[in-house]
Amino acid sequence: MKVISEIREISNTLSRLKSSNNTIGLIPTMGALHKGHISLVEKSIAENDITVVSIFVNPTQFDKQEDLTNYPITIEKDLELLEKSGCDFVFTPKANEIYDNNISSQKFLFDGLEQQMEGKHRAGHFDGVGTIVKKFFLITMPNIAYFGEKDFQQLQIIKKLVELEKLDIKIIGCPIHREEDGLAMSSRNTRLTDQQRKDAPFIYKTLKEAQNKIAKHSFTEINSWVSEQFKKHKTLNLEYFEIAEEDTLKTAIKRENNKKYRAFIAVFADKIRLIDNISL
């Protein structure tokens, strides 16, 4: 496994490999890797000749400076995990080179996908995500890029990005990896206190119960029920719960035939923000 920090080096290396008929799989990450990330890496290894993981804590996608400052960094452990998984290249660029000393985002319109849920609650987040992912795509030119359904809205936005920018890259969504107690794996989980960690599986438990209610209850009833559950909770604060249509991510009021729905949730454990979602 080779670790490369410079844009020109990774770009030249990968374009050489691609021109000798190797397929390239890319997994963009912000590091602090866990089994969820590694499941994406393993899928890429199974489906491509060369697997590249980028590790870059992207400053432009954070709406709160504090969240960026406290984002966990565990680069040595990450490299060990990636080496063990069979990854070929790790791209670890520096912010100044990536942003050419001008750390700011391009503005994007993703057919309204950017205006829903995370877009409403994290100003500029998807401009930051679009900016960095587009840069990484142009630098590495993968055949396939892998994204987790954990960030389902992000996955839909990246699919739209590739369509709008006319990039010849296949986007694959991968299932959410969970801890045994159901909590969706996340780099931010390492910041939870023992008590918060004990409480956090309540998020998935509530999503599962909401899923079970779907046959007998309206979306409005489920929304109110979820909101009540969190009002009663001592340590977890609900930011939003929404049932949305999978393709457009628009809030769903009433179930229609031939449409797929998903429930999305964002919860604060003190200042740590956790998100999850479930197919309905």
- Give least dist CB 114 to ligand AMP, A: 17
What is the rounded end-to-end Cα distance, in angstroms, of the chain?
A: 40
The residue of the chain with the least Cβ separation from ligand AMP equals 148
Task: Considering only the stretches 180-188, 218-226, 237-245, 262-270, report the one whose residues sit in contact with ligand AMP under the rule CB under 6 A.
Answer: 180-188
- Give least dist CB 28 to ligand AMP, A: 6
For residues 176 and 226, which CB has a smaller minimum distance to ligand AMP in the complex? 176
Q: Kindly write out the interface string for residues 113-152 of this chain, putting x where it contacts ligand AMP by CB under 6 A and - elsewhere.
A: ----------------------------------xx-xx-
Identify the H or E element spanning 55.
strand 50-55
> What's the CA gap between 129 and 161, in Å, rounded?
10
For residues 208 and 259, which CB has a smaller minimum distance to ligand AMP in the complex? 208
Q: Which of 34, 37, 125, 177 is catalytic?
A: 37
Sheet holding 2-4, edge to edge: 2-4, 89-91, 50-55, 24-29, 144-148, 170-174
70: nearest Cα among 176, 201, 227, 191: 191
Query: Interface residues for ligand AMP in 37-96 (CB under 6 A)?
Result: 37, 39-40
Q: Which one of 14, 30, 38, 52 is in contact with ligand AMP (CB under 6 A)? A: 30
- Are 279 and 262 spatial neighbours (Cβ–Cβ below 8 Å)? yes
Q: Is 177 in the active site?
A: no
According to DSSP H, which parts of 232-270 are helical?
none
Scan for tokens 């998807």, then name that residue. 126
- A 10 A CB-CB count for 245 gives 16
For residues 151 and 242, which CB has a smaller minimum distance to ligand AMP in the complex? 151
> What's the CA gap between 263 and 205, in Å, rounded?
13
- Give least dist CB 205 to ligand AMP, A: 16
- Are 27 and 40 spatial neighbours (Cβ–Cβ below 8 Å)? yes
Task: Considering only the stretches 11-19, 132-140, 179-187, 224-232, report the one whose residues sit in contact with ligand AMP under the rule CB under 6 A.
Answer: 179-187
Look at the alpha carbons of 255, 268, 60, 30 in this order and tell me if their dihedral is positive or negative.
Answer: negative
- Give least dist CB 217 to ligand AMP, A: 28
According to DSSP H, which parts of the chain are helical?
7-19, 35-47, 65-69, 75-85, 95-98, 117-121, 125-140, 152-164, 194-199, 202-213, 219-231
Q: Which one of 176, 183, 252, 275 is in contact with ligand AMP (CB under 6 A)? A: 176
Q: Which one of 144, 174, 236, 265 is in contact with ligand AMP (CB under 6 A)? A: 174
For residues 80 and 228, which CB has a smaller minimum distance to ligand AMP in the complex? 80
Task: Considering only the stretches 30-38, 98-106, 160-168, 208-216, report the one whose residues sit in contact with ligand AMP under the rule CB under 6 A.
Answer: 30-38
> What's the CA gap between 242 and 79, in Å, rounded?
37
Query: Interface residues for ligand AMP in 183-202 (CB under 6 A)?
Result: 184-187
177 belongs to the binding site for ligand AMP (CB under 6 A): yes
**Applying CB under 6 A, which residues contact ligand AMP?**
29-30, 36-37, 39-40, 147-148, 150-151, 174, 176-177, 184-187
Q: Which residues are catalytic?
A: 37
